[in-house]
Structure 1
Amino acid sequence: MRRRPIVRALAAGCAAVLAASLALASPASAANPIITTIYTADPAPLVVGNTMYIYAGRDEAPTGTNNFVMREWHVLSSTDAANWTHHGARANIGTFGWAGADAWASEVEYRNGRYYWYTSVNGRGPGWMDIGVAVADSPLGPFTDAKGGPLISDSTPNSSPLNIDPTVFVDDDGQAYLYWGGYWGARAVRLASNMIDTVGSVVTPQGLTNFWEAPFMFKRNGLYYMIYAANDTQGCVTSSSYACQRYATATNPMGPWTHRGVVLGQVSSTTNHAGVAQLNGQWYMIYHNANAPGGGNFRRSVAVDRMYFNADGTIQPVVQTTTGPPPNPGGGVQPPAGTNLAPSATASTSYVSAWESLAAINNGGVPTSSADRSNLAYGNWPQQGTQWIEYRWPSARSINRTATYWFDDNQGIDLPASCQVQYWTGSAYVNVPNQSTCGVAADTYNVTTFSTVSTTRLRLNITSRTGYSTGVLEWMAFQP
């Protein structure tokens, strides 16, 4: 995923700041657009613990004005992606003493206990738009200028024809990358560990077919994704005055990129700017349109809808809705009580997909739903029919029940048709005696009981539904 979820302990460390901020916060909508008390645009999400933050500019153009009037950036947050809290303006043009106007698209990235807010802003100097960076110790600020001048400007060698729309991605190895650009000019550069200096030369990334503006980068299952606005009429929009969101993938964060198609079609505003995040096991696309009362091309509003991946990693086109996603509060059910012997066992399987992890089944994770990958997931796509997972102990263990939390990615992995627990007799696997129904329900621990067996090996045979593979988030084995 693009944003590695920031640990709850860190989120708790911001509690005092958040509590003070909430006193000034106001509820927003539980439908699309998610806020209609003001106009908001160019959203970028960030997930911190169990909270999604959206950073967006404010459209202030009066009715009939055919130009952007944007002077500040606002923050919204939600723990379920449906009910949103508006925290007001958290940065503005005045945050940057060297800036003069145009608080355009921005994005916040976390690194080393701090939050870096990368912004498109008119810097008063030669040329037009620059990229600045502010910093804070909390996702809600207060934010201050981190550099005292532009990070990117027209004087930057090989800069974009229009230096706007920054997206910053920190990879698993700690290296940070900045992509940006407008007027068909995508650019990329590595960032130093301090997040406010560039390292090496600015490059022009290859493979972003029909790039216009608004890049947003994230990572999922070892694959890099870039969504971006395009305004071509070859399957994107009916008029080049509008834009869609295309996307590309790469195996290296600097490309080359392979174009994959359109992920978000034309919206009701001429501009189309989006970001992607995963919250409580579900992926979302955050974008803007002109659907709020009185809205228009310069009076836009942020919307949120669910996003789904296919089994091969491609993305299904996002369906734009007026209702928005249903509440997804996470939390889930708690695991059954008792002594779980699974963590002390060695796991094996008939097959595991290269991008999934067998370690998921006994790592002690507590899923929030069957789509929750936050504690890893075991899956056996593209295998079908009956596959198995197994535990082995160095000496015999007494066991009389198991609990299985199934993985369902809404793609090629689905809930199983059936399952059967078996144990090793010393020479063969046989079904456990007097087994209760082996449950296949989603979003819960399916408890299976049986007469006590003493064994060094326990196996779960999983039979898939026709056309699907199967997966497991957690498999527990209890002693009597």
Structure 2
Amino acid sequence: MRATLQCTSLLGAAIVLLAGVVVATPASAANPIITSVYTADPAPLVVGNTLYVYAGRDEAASGQQNFLMREWRVLSSTDAATWTDHGAKANIGTFRWAGADAWASEVEPRNGKYYWYTSVNGNGAGWMDIGVAVGDSPLGPFTDAKGGPLISDSTPNSSGLNIDPTVFTDDDGQAYLYWGSYWGARAVKLKPNMIELDGPVVTPQGLQDFWEAPFMFKRNGLYYMIYAANDTNGCVTSSSYACQRYATATNPMGPWTHRGVVLGQVSSTTNHAGVAQFNGQWYMVYHNANAPGGGNFRRSVAVDLLHFNADGTMQRVTQTTTGPPPNPGTPPTGNIAPSATASTSHVSSWESLAAINDGGTPSSSADRSNLVYGNWPEQGTQWIEYTWPSARSINRTSVYWFDDDQGIDLPASCRAQYWTGSAYADVPGQSSCGTAANTFNSVTFPTVSTTRLRLSITARAGNSTGVLEWQAFAA
């Protein structure tokens, strides 16, 4: 929630609300993902085969220039494209010590329970606290887990505005809480019960241009923090808006290294996002003002694909009106080449590109018992390529060369390349690309997430090259 847009709540501190009973209704694939109500400040959570998004509800009337937020809702999808609104599962009345402002929240599982960390006004306008509710399932019901705020202005070294909690539990079971606004990022460890602080509140270092809205996750042993920034140094053209910057660290408490912008300016002045991996694909959830009748105080949640480069950096998210394609399956495993569409710089007219991913196991490099691929009479460097409909995480490729002793010979060299989203680049850290006959030659590398993988093949002088089978393996 953007603090510069903060205003006096229209609710009195004595109001107690009950969660509404709503029939869950699926919405067709599009961005924003739900338009029956306005939703904001999304936080994703994957449980089994379901992607949940926890979000506040914007209730401001058309033309109203302040936030009116009284409840938190749960949205879910089993394919990241078609969404169900389960209605309000917590609200201001969940916390009897609170009075107004159901701002940004996030749910973290632990010990078979689900802890819902919320930004809520406990002491009147301008005095934001962080509360914790708990439920036995992702859909609740949720009740106050503590009976008072977890973080408030009385917490030593608290932020200038105590909002936007993000909770991350590491592999060793230690949980961490980050939050803050007014350029005041804060971090603290949590005790195993998830409702008490475990040590002092610290000010994390390295979150360049931090404004608010942190979200933390881990990938391949590296910690990532995305957050809202409103600087005009490559972020936005007006500080009334915000982008999402990100930083990485090798320790969950930092120090952090700034990496750049991962989500540009959206159509609302606020910019609040979260990241999740679901069915082998990474996604970013965020909000904008694109729903019919939307605006800065009538926002809606959107979801788009997120891609990583081979070195672990994040590609800038492309904002769409269609949302991601359906992803209903389990993450692919093993050789995923048969599911790809193959292409090449050249294939001989009497040979077949289909040979490279037909699943065959050649007996030798001269084996013609199945389809074969060759690029005679082309010489120099040629390529073959796989394309998938959505990004795949790949860390190994293996090729069985074709050699007919009639102009097609074993290559001089080869290298694996991947599509970065705008260009092809050599896969960083790849092992040597073998050119031996009568065997699969494997190339290993750190996991790369991409929709397109290419094998660049350089021929020996005076020869062309060929392939009997080219495999690509899911990480």
Normalising by structure 1, report the TM-score. Answer: 0.70
Is the contact between residue 407 and residue 472 of structure 1 (CA under 8 Å) also seen in structure 2? no
Q: 2:453 aligns with which of 389, 397, 414?
A: 414
Quote how far apart the aligned CAs of 1:90 are.
0.6
Q: CA 1:387 to 1:191, structure 2 compared with 1: closer, same or farther past 3 Å?
A: farther
Q: CA 1:154 to 1:333, structure 2 compared with 1: closer, same or farther past 3 Å?
A: closer
Alignment deviations for residues 20-56 of structure 1 (CA, whole Å, 9 cap, x no partner) = x999311123110001010000000000112100000
For residue 98 of structure 1, give the secondary structure of its aligned residue in structure 2. Answer: coil
Find the counterpart in structure 2 of residue 98 from structure 1.
97
Number of equivalenced pairs: 362
Find the counterpart in structure 1 of residue 340 from structure 2.
none
The RMSD of aligned alpha carbons is 3.2
Q: What letter is aligned with 1:158?
A: N
Is the contact between residue 392 and residue 451 of structure 2 (CA under 8 Å) also seen in structure 1? no
Q: 2:469 aligns with which of 431, 438, 456?
A: 438
Find the counterpart in structure 1 of residue 196 from structure 2.
197
Alignment deviations for residues 118-155 of structure 1 (CA, whole Å, 9 cap, x no partner) = 00000126961000000011000000100000000000
Distance (Å, rounded) in 2 between the aligned partners of 1:332 and 1:146: 35
Distance (Å, rounded) in 1 between the aligned partners of 2:473 and 2:233: 41
Q: What letter is aligned with 1:414?
A: L
Q: What letter is aligned with 2:469?
A: C
Q: CA 1:294 to 1:176, structure 2 compared with 1: closer, same or farther past 3 Å?
A: same
Quote how far apart the aligned CAs of 1:382 are.
1.9
Is the contact between residue 407 and residue 415 of structure 1 (CA under 8 Å) also seen in structure 2? no
Quote how far apart the aligned CAs of 1:331 are.
3.5
Q: CA 1:208 to 1:25, structure 2 compared with 1: closer, same or farther past 3 Å?
A: same
Alignment of 1:50-199 (within 5 A): 50-124=49-123, 128-199=127-198
Find the counterpart in structure 2 of residue 450 from structure 1.
none
Alignment deviations for residues 275-319 of structure 1 (CA, whole Å, 9 cap, x no partner) = 000111110110000000000000000000001011111101101
Alignment of 1:297-312 (within 5 A): 297-312=296-311
Quote how far apart the aligned CAs of 1:386 are.
2.1
For residue 63 of structure 2, give the secondary structure of its aligned residue in structure 1. Answer: coil
Alignment of 1:268-307 (within 5 A): 268-307=267-306
Matched, 1:472 2:473: yes
Is the contact between residue 382 and residue 412 of structure 1 (CA under 8 Å) also seen in structure 2? no
Find the counterpart in structure 2 of residue 255 from structure 1.
254
Find the counterpart in structure 2 of residue 226 from structure 1.
225
Q: What letter is aligned with 1:438?
A: E
Quote how far apart the aligned CAs of 1:385 are.
5.2
Q: Structure 2 unaligned runs (5+)?
A: 1-19, 336-387, 398-426, 458-466
Is the contact between residue 407 and residue 414 of structure 1 (CA under 8 Å) also seen in structure 2? no
Distance (Å, rounded) in 1 between the aligned partners of 2:181 and 2:334: 49
Quote how far apart the aligned CAs of 1:369 are.
9.9
For residue 248 of structure 2, give the secondary structure of its aligned residue in structure 1. Answer: strand
Distance (Å, rounded) in 2 between the aligned partners of 1:208 and 1:335: 38
Is the contact between residue 42 and residue 56 of structure 1 (CA under 8 Å) also seen in structure 2? yes
Distance (Å, rounded) in 2 between the aligned partners of 1:210 and 1:23: 40
Find the counterpart in structure 2 of residue 386 from structure 1.
433
Distance (Å, rounded) in 1 between the aligned partners of 2:63 and 2:126: 28
Distance (Å, rounded) in 2 between the aligned partners of 1:240 and 1:247: 18
Quote how far apart the aligned CAs of 1:473 are.
3.4
Q: What letter is aligned with 1:329?
A: P
Quote how far apart the aligned CAs of 1:335 are.
8.6
Q: Structure 1 unaligned runs (5+)?
A: 1-20, 337-367, 389-400, 419-435, 441-470, 475-480
Distance (Å, rounded) in 2 between the aligned partners of 1:125 and 1:174: 36
Rg larger in structure: 2
